[in-house]
A = this chain, B = another copy of it.
C-alpha cells in the first residue's frame, strides 16, 4: 500500500471537490457528491473551457466557484481534490496539470490512451505524495467486493472468467471518433478487464490475444480479448460500441460453483452464486435517491467511489487498495497490447505529450438539462 504523509489536510474538514469538464459524467458525479453529507464532501468548483457551462453547473449544484479554464481551477488553493471528467485524450495533460498544482485526483477511465502516460502520472503523484485514482467505479461497489470474496472462498478452482458488455454508441462522437480518443478498447474494455483482474490478480498476463472490428476511422468498434497466465488462470472477454443489446454479464466458472454478476456487472447491485445444489442471489441495493437528474444507470453507486476517495485521503493513502495503481497499469498495458494486435494507435493525437485533437468536438456531448435561473456572479 502506498501512503503519503498527512501534513496539510485537516482530518475533520469536508473534502472540497473541483470538477473538470462539464459533461454528463461530471453531472452525475457532482450529483453524488451533493448527496453526501456536507461535513464530508463539498461540491466546490467547476471548470469548463466554455465558462457559461461551468457557471451553469456551479449554479445547479450550489458550488462556490466556476472557471473558464482548467488552469484556473488547478490554481485555486481551496480545491482539495479534482475530478477529471473530460474526454479521454485530455486526461493525461489535465492529470499532470492538477498534480503540478498539488491536487489529489480522481480521473475518469481510461486514465490515458497510452499506458506509458499513466505510468508517468503515477510516478509524479507518488513523488509528490498525492492521492491519484483512476475512476473505475465498479471496483468500489459492495456487490463487486462480495464477488471477490466469493471468488476466493466459494467457487473452488477458477477455470475461466468471462465478461461481455456493449451498447449502441454509434451516434456518440466521443465513442466512435478516433480524434476524440474513441474506440471500444478504450471506452469499454476497462470494465471487462477490471472484472478479470478483480478475480485473477493484477499481474500482467503471459498471453494476451485479441481480435477486433475497426470502423471507418480505424478505431475498434467491437473486440474480444483472451488472457492467460502461466499458472493457467484464464479470461475471455468481449465488448462493443455498436450492438443494440449486449447485456453486461460477467461469470466466474469454478470447479465447485459459478458466480454470475447479473446485468449490469459494471455497476452491480447483485451477486449470484450457483452450485449444483442451488442458486443464491445477494442484493446490494443502491444507497440513496439523488437530488439531481443523472444520466448513467445506477449513477447513485458512484457514492462508493466518492466515499473511498475520502477514506483514502484521510488515511494518507496514495491509492485505493480496491483499485491500485498497479491495477490501472496492468489494464492499460493490456489495452496497449490489444490495440497493437488489432491495429489501432493513438500516437497521432499527441505532439510532445499534448493533445492535438479538435478542441470543439468534446463540447458536442453536452448534456441537455432543463434551464435554471442562476445569477452570473461566479467570476
B240 touches A211 (CB 8 A): no
B159 touches A213 (CB 8 A): yes
B232 touches A258 (CB 8 A): no
Question: Which of A223-231, A296-304, A319-327 is found at the contact surface with chain B?
Answer: A223-231
Copies of chain A in the complex: 2
User: Of all chain B residues, which has the CB nearest A157?
Assistant: B242
Residues of chain B contacted by A242 (CB below 8 angstroms): 157, 159, 255
Number of A interface residues at 8 Å Cβ cutoff, please give it.
44
**Is A115's CB within 8 Å of the partner chain B?**
no
**Is A257's CB within 8 Å of the partner chain B?**
yes
Give Cα A300 to B242, complex, Å.
39
Residues of chain B contacted by A207 (CB below 8 angstroms): 211
Give Cα A160 to B164, complex, Å.
10
Residues of chain B contacted by A209 (CB below 8 angstroms): 209, 211, 226
Residues of chain B contacted by A235 (CB below 8 angstroms): 224
Shortest distance between the CB of A61 and any CB in chain B (Å): 32
A244 touches B255 (CB 8 A): yes
Give Cα A204 to B214, complex, Å.
21
**A166 partner, pick from B159, B210, B237, beta carbons under 8 A:** B159
Interfacial residues, chain A to chain B (CB-CB below 8 A): 156-157, 159-160, 162, 164, 166, 168, 207, 209-214, 221-222, 224, 226-228, 232, 234-238, 240, 242-247, 251, 253-258, 274-276
The list of the 7 closest CB pairs from A to B, nearest first, reads: A211-B228, A209-B209, A224-B236, A245-B258, A159-B222, A213-B232, A243-B253
